Chains A and B, each alone.
Chain A
């Protein structure tokens, strides 16, 4: 009987208060960077090009939390980020990009050790831009916007390298993060 009772409890997503606090902190930090970045003028007048500072914490979460926890954090950050930006029309693009990016990085974290967080982030950025462009093709009803993908990949790789290196420095400094993920 006791066993039977434990099964549904396990099926329910359980998070310790400590994990919840850590996740909330990372989400808040990501949102702060997102809002700061909104104040910076866009360096290149090309739709979709941005530094993506908030993704420093997405990459940190990928290497520090479970897939599920990272996913929850990303959804909260993207929805609140779009609300703070007052630009709900960009939600579809960021959500689509983030989905591609997260799937790719969750796969790569099993292959790439912590020394290569920057590399995982570069691939994440490239996948983000790919997802974004795919959403743009659907929205515009035309494949002509695919012409932006190469440029987005070039700028995205640079941005991903920067945010990845930042994330690597953050992960190194999180206490108790010495070992790689199980």
Chain B
């Protein structure tokens, strides 16, 4: 819908077009590029053509780019198209850029002429968009060329002179392990259709590492003028060191690419390079020479200079200079009386961004004094071959005296180091004893053990029963009275037995009997009458009810008539036997 509105509106609104040209900056030193921005602005988007820039005298166009923006405001469409030319001059003077022209729907539009002043005293223009300030980095990706600041020819118009590769070394007469730089350069003054494919050369017989440029990058891109051509140059650097003497060959590097889609693939080769590697001279060769090559300075120091036995001291040797010290073998371990010297820690650093290598080796020996007094770190000798001076150099560190005091530790005299087992053996015997105990477990075979284990169960059962009864006695009144009835009655019988007074005796007997019956039936004693007894014991043991009734009758009669001692005892005996009968039946 939106697009339809635009298409409908575009021809209707095609009206005035504005064409302007502007140089940024317009005052600059020779060799610097400026931007000429030609802007076409107007309504409508229908096939707006590019403005035509006339031939420039004394100026060279090194890049071109276009951009277009469309704005819509209140149904009004405004199209702005910018064409930016990167233009350079290597001469001083004032240059006039003639008007650019644009023909559109029968009308011709023109820009105003623009003056550019090239002057050595002019400030170098700032900003990233000048050709020199923003070189092309790395190999171009397909479809990315041309960019606005590349002096590229159109692909159809290129020649073989527009492309070349080189491999250069900064030294070709060296000794083994002497480092030098090989630089591969790819020059092109034409657009490439695809990203080039690079094949590095053979470096057989060399130690090889990639050497970064000063900006830390592995590739360097630049624009260089050679003759009348402006080339984009991409460079790679290698740090090389021959491993043996003799002649060594750096093979051909090659790079392949398509310049345009309708031509064959182009492959460019570098020339192989022969490097002569001289053997180390025998004259003046030190015995301790290990193959270190370069020009170095040696320094040393220890820290702290005062210590105690068993304390830790660091002895540091630094070798620094031109050359790749990484190739040198590890430093020797030295011995010193009164000092235990441990394996050194070696740290190598190297700056490979220059024309050679500046490297530094720090050797740090941990020392532990083993005796007190003045202990000396002996001088250490380092030798190397200096290819610049073409001679061997030997440098010696200074002897360092350490002031060692006695150890504060109790173990000062004990030798230090890793404890090593001399022999394997079993552990020693169990010691002598006063008594040798028999561990044979015999208790669990003894029946007494099981009896002890079982014993708590009946005890607990009895306890449970007792607790149960105790609880009932306190909560069940009838049960409590009933359970005590016979015992209470027997006690009362025993109490009245010696009484001679008939009335007292029978009163006691009556009380005991009614008390007993009241307890077992849970009744108040006075309410136990002959009738109650007969009713309750109607189905009871035979003769008990009658016996009790007879006893109650005897009790009543005894109040009014004397009773012999014998009869009293018979009644008492009868009462006891009746209670026994009742207890049995309960």
Whether chain B is bound by chain A comes out as: no
